Structure 1
Amino acid sequence: MPRPYALALLALLALPGCFSNNRHQGQRLYAQHCASCHGDQGQGLARLIPPLAGSDYLATHRAELPCLLRHGQNEVIVVNGVGYHNIMPGNKALSPAQLTNLLNYVESHWGNEAAPRTISDVQAQLDKCP
């Protein structure tokens, strides 16, 4: 193999190491920050913690979700016809990119079928948080 081709081949083999692998970041963030309350499969906990699986709340409050994750909530919310009144802590440490990956994971699993979000969409929604 001529030398230029060998160098090009080595460069191509090294290329994946130049990029981070965020493909499964949403799943990892969910496991780290959400699963202990909402369950491994988003099933929630009886009438204490609302389910994320098949949740009508996710669809009807889509624009509010980045703020809810960032700042938490302590008001009554209704999910699939059931009222829940427990405090949900927010997480100010998660970046807009992390929030985007987390929301894209939750909104595309367990029967949820929302369109994918972009980081700029999430950032714009965060800019409108009260």
Structure 2
Amino acid sequence: MTRKMIIALAVGGVAALAITGTAIGAVASDTGQDRKRTVAAAQTGDAGTGAATDAVSAERAKEIALAEVGGGTVEEVERDRENGRPVWEVEIDQGTIEYEVDVDRQTGEVVKVERDDDDDDDRYDD
């Protein structure tokens, strides 16, 4: 091999290594960003539709749900879906009666109310 060919191969190899290294770095960086988004979604409890997209806050959903059933103690509020619709699921305790109220996270509309009397006979529960 001539000296020019050896130099050309060496320069080409270094360039290829530099380009490949940059590409690998970019992939690693994207993977890191994806991981951050996944962790953030897990922390909010709703992959892909986190708090930034909720027009109605959890606090407002509590107020709406309490007004719907006439008061009580809010036991739990969590993000959920009802027929594909993003809702706040609000659980309310009124002593012997428990309610589960679904409030649309975009409009604040009450989507569903389930009532459960705290007895052993579930035949007459809604």
- Give the shorter-chain TM-score range: 0.3 to 0.5
Larger radius of gyration: 2
Higher-RCO chain (CA-CA 8 Å, sequence separation at least 6): 1
Instruction: Tell me the TM-score normalized by structure 1.
Output: 0.32
Higher strand share: 2
User: TM-score, normalised to structure 2's length?
Assistant: 0.32
